[in-house]
Amino acid sequence: MHKQSIALSAQLIELGGNVPTEIKLLPAGKFRAKDGRPKGIESWTMDDTGATSILNSAINQTDQFLIDYDHQTLHAKTNGAPAPAAGWFAKLDWRKGLGLFATDVQWTDKAKSAIQAKEYRYISPVIQFDQQTGSVTGLLMAALCNYPALDGLNDLAAAHFNLFNQSEKPMNKEQLEALGLAEGADDAAILSAINALKTQAAKVETLTAQIATLAIPDPAKFVPVDAVTALQAQLATLTATVNADKISKLIEPALADGRLLPALKQWAETYGKADYEGLSAFLSLAKPIAALAGTQTGGIQPVPGLSALTAEEKDVAQALGLSDEEMIANREAA
C-alpha cells in the first residue's frame, strides 16, 4: 500500500467578490501548486477513482467540512491563536472534466462581509494524496486565503499529519477511546470523529457567546413563591365558595317545586361540584311534582284527632263557603 500524505493545494480559485453557495475545490485531471509542489512526483491527479473515495467518505461522516481563514486550524497548535470558522459544507459533487465542487456552502456573516469586500479572494483545500502516484484520495478541509500555497507552508500539512491521517503512525487504544472509537478504527472513522469534535467546539463557542449576552433577571419583576402559593390558596377557597352558592341556587328552588327529592339533595351537591352545567341541564328538564311542592292543607296545621277532608267533602265545603276546619267541625258534630 502506498504511503499517504496531505497538502495545502490552493488552486487560485477566485471568489470575485461574490458570496457563492457553490465553490470549486479541485480541478479535474493533473494539477500543481504555484510553488512547484508536489515535489518528487509529476503532479497531483484528481480523477473518478479519487472522487469516488472522497464522496463515499463524505457520505459516511456525520459532521460537515470546515472552511477557516488562512489555514489557522493547522497553525493554532503552534501560534495559540483562535481558529474561527468562515463556513461549512457537507455536500460534494464530482463533475467529470470540471472538478470537485462543494454545493451547499454556508458562510458565517463575518466571512460573507470579507468576501464581498474582497478581503479574501481564494479557496485553498487541504487534500490527502498518494505519495507515489500523486492521486488525490481525500479532502480534509478548506480555507479562505489571499496567497495560495504560501512559501513556508510547504511542510505545514506534514507537521500536522497526525491531526488528519494515521496511516504511518496508527493511533493507540487510548487515543481511539478518547475519540469514542474502537480499536482498529480506519482512517475515515478517525477523520469523521476529529471533524465532529471541531463541530462541537464551534457550537460550544457559539453557545458561550450567547450565554454571555443574556441579561440577569430583575428580582423586582418576580413574585416570591410563597406569595404565589398563598394567592393560589385564596383563589381556590373563593372559587369553591362561589361554586357552592351557584349550586345552592339551583338546588333550593328544585326542592321547593318538587323537581328534586330531598333524599337526592346531597347527590345533587356532589354532582354540581363536578359538573355544574350537567346539574343545571338535569334540573331544567325535570318535571315538578305537585304533591311534593307543598302540603295538602295549604300550610294549615290539621286539628289534632281529626282526619282531613275527602275530595267530595272539600267540594261541599267550597260550595257552602266553609273552611276546611269548619267543614271538619260540622262533620264531627253530625
For residues 232 and 255, membership in a common domain is answered with: yes
For residues 65 and 207, membership in a common domain is answered with: yes
Q: Which of 69-83, 118-132, 215-229, 238-252 has the lowest mean pLDDT?
A: 215-229
- pLDDT digits 0-9 by tens, 116-173: 888 888 888 888 888 889 999 999 999 988 865 533 333 334 334 444 443 445 677 7
For residues 118 and 227, membership in a common domain is answered with: no
* pLDDT the model gives residue 302: 52
For residues 44 and 144, membership in a common domain is answered with: yes
Cell of 50: 479519487
- With 0.85 as the threshold, say if the pTM is over it: no
Domain count, the chain: 3
Of 155, 187, 212, the last residue of a domain is: 212
For residues 197 and 68, membership in a common domain is answered with: yes
* Torsions phi, psi for 55 (to 5 deg): -65, -40
* pLDDT the model gives residue 109: 94
Confidence tier at 7 by pLDDT (50, 70, 90): low
For residues 19 and 101, membership in a common domain is answered with: yes
**Structural domain range at position 317:** 302-334
* pLDDT the model gives residue 32: 83
Confidence tier at 87 by pLDDT (50, 70, 90): very high
Share of the chain above pLDDT 90, in %: 17
Per-chain mean pLDDT for the chain: 78
For residues 255 and 310, membership in a common domain is answered with: no
List b or e across 74-88, with b for residues whose CB sees 16 or more CB atoms inside 10 angstroms: bbeeeeeeebebbbb
For residues 72 and 204, membership in a common domain is answered with: yes
Nearest in space to 259 (alpha carbons), one of 289, 217, 231, 229: 289
Q: State how far the alpha carbon of 329 is from the alpha carbons of 287, 297, 309, 315, in Å.
A: 37, 15, 11, 16
Nearest in space to 28 (alpha carbons), one of 93, 90, 89: 93
- Tell me how crowded residue 111 is: count the other CB atoms within 10 A of its CB: 22
Confidence tier at 283 by pLDDT (50, 70, 90): confident
For residues 317 and 289, membership in a common domain is answered with: no
Of 157, 187, 212, the last residue of a domain is: 212
Q: Which of 31-45, 50-64, 88-102, 162-176 has the lowest mean pLDDT?
A: 162-176
For residues 227 and 78, membership in a common domain is answered with: no
Burial of 291 from C-beta contacts in 10 A (0-12 / 13-18 / 19+) = exposed
d(CA 47, CA 196): 27
- pLDDT digits 0-9 by tens, 179-232: 788 877 777 678 778 878 778 777 877 777 777 777 666 666 666 777 778 778
For residues 98 and 134, membership in a common domain is answered with: yes
Of 192, 212, 232, the last residue of a domain is: 212
For residues 184 and 253, membership in a common domain is answered with: no
